[in-house]
Amino acid sequence: MQYISTRGGMQPLPYCETLLEGLAPDGGLAVPETMPTVDGETLERWRALTYPQLATEVLGLFATDIPRADLARMTAAAYETFPEAVVPLRAIDDDLTLVGLSEGPTLAFKDMAMQFLGQVVEYALERKGSVLNILGATSGDTGSAAEHALRGKDRISVFMLSPKGRMSAFQRAQMFSLDDENIHNIVVDGVFDDCQNLVKKLAGDLDFKRAQNLGAVNSINLARITAQVVYYFWAWLRATDIGGWTEVSFTVPSGNFGNILSGFFAKQMGLPIRRLVLAANENNVLDEFFRTGVYRPRSAAQTLATSSPSMDISKASNLERFIFELVGRDASRVVSAWKDLDDKGHFDFTADLSRFIEEFGIVSGTSTHADRLATIEAVYDASGDIIDPHTADGVKVAREYVEPGVPMLVLETAKPQKFAETIREAIGVELEYPSELRAMLDAPQRTAEMADDEHELRAFIEANALR
């Protein structure tokens, strides 16, 4: 299995080299040269597997340059701290079932991919005899998941940008309380899209990237997308009967389009997915795109601070991988679209989207703060479950697309403890924290603050990068 760029300017590379690269040299994103496929017989054979075993099988289709024994060791290590089920499913009513993705060390779905990423990046670096300086941006959960997966690793340093004042107190504490020498938290005076733009500027400077050994852990990293594919297969296997070929639908709270893109990959691989339902918050650029075919990102000033902060994103990096498939893998049209985005502030794929919407099966909807509060309250009253505000966005939009006879699975994104203020506002409940979480919230925090300034960031990395 080899990987190419969405913009056509990268020679095919194997999995391990691709995940160390981050952005492709031409500024595009890595995608499989040919998508692997899975048939019904294989799916049935996978039903009896544990989560790490299933991860080995699915990831083995993508990471063909890693010996199977090494891959099995890494998946076992990645999920050893999770509960036995790793990803439990639980019904909240007759229509909706939650896919529990927040059982990992930072209580968010990002752990599902990051724990594997930490294993496979270290493996690739040891094999190559090199080091990597990870440069990333977070709107909330990516940063803590990455840092907890990579802390203390000898060959890796992490430079994580986050927007000032745009994360919950819990999210800040999870990141900023870490005192490992290889973790650098950089608070940028801006919004998430400003942080992401800084990452892309530095990653796009090939001389700087090579000199500083820069890599990525944002969802532009291929390992994260492929690791997330696994739980779509896992959830389908647990939501369907043995020997059945039942279609299911998934609803995915979406910000940077990485989580739902993994579901799109699973569907392309042959998993019987009826619909992928994209749930947006008030920053609903992606909802607008899937309803109209016009993609029009908003400026930093227009990007709202909401009570589902991990989705406060107006420029979704992973949409490029979807556009590549939408235009029949024509890299020249991807390049043209991004030129339109730079020149006009938008691009238009109305004709393409209307032609392929049934094939791709992606639909969308928007949820607001009032919707989140009402949904959290309704779920709590009906089932006793307390869901976080991002999952509430998913539940609200999922109800708009429930179909008779088609199971609707909603991807849970985080534990409610990460968003205690919104939970208190919705249902008046004060969430309890175990002693280790309380100690984390009370611990000193260590950050570097800077302006939205490319040159200042370059200097900081040059002074602190591993060599």
Whether the Cβ atoms of residue 448 and residue 183 lie closer than 8 Å to each other:
no
Name the strand (E) or helix (H) holding 408: strand 408-411
257: left (phi over 0), alpha (psi -120 to 50) or beta: left
Pairing of strands 347-348, 294-295: antiparallel
CA distance 90 to 93: 9
Which one from 110, 209, 396, 418 is the annotated catalytic residue? 110
Burial 234-271 (b: 16+ CB within 10 A, else e): bbbbebbeeeeeebbbbbbbbbbbbbbbbbbbbbbbeb
Strands (E), 191-315: 214-215, 248-253, 273-280, 294-295
Q: Is 110 a catalytic residue?
A: yes
What are the respective helix, strand and coil percentages of the chain, to the nearest 5?
50, 15, 35
What string of H, E and C letters represents the secondary structure of 157-195?
EEEEEEECCCCCHHHHHHHHCCCCCCEEEEEECCCHHHH
Whether the Cβ atoms of residue 162 and residue 175 lie closer than 8 Å to each other:
yes
CA distance 447 to 465: 16
Provide CB contacts within 8 A for 83, sequence distance 6+. Answer: 103
Whether the Cβ atoms of residue 99 and residue 93 lie closer than 8 Å to each other:
no
CA distance 368 to 110: 23
The three-point CA angle 442-446-447 to 5° equals 130
The three-point CA angle 130-121-223 to 5° equals 140
C-alpha distances in Å from residue 258, one per residue of 9, 60, 243, 389, 400: 22, 20, 30, 19, 22
Task: Enter the DSSP assignment of 87.
Answer: S
Report the candidate in 299, 267, 265, 305 with the shortest Cα–Cα distance to residue 285: 299
In this structure, the number of other CB atoms found within 10 A of the CB of residue 280 comes to: 25
The residues annotated with a catalytic role in the active site are 110
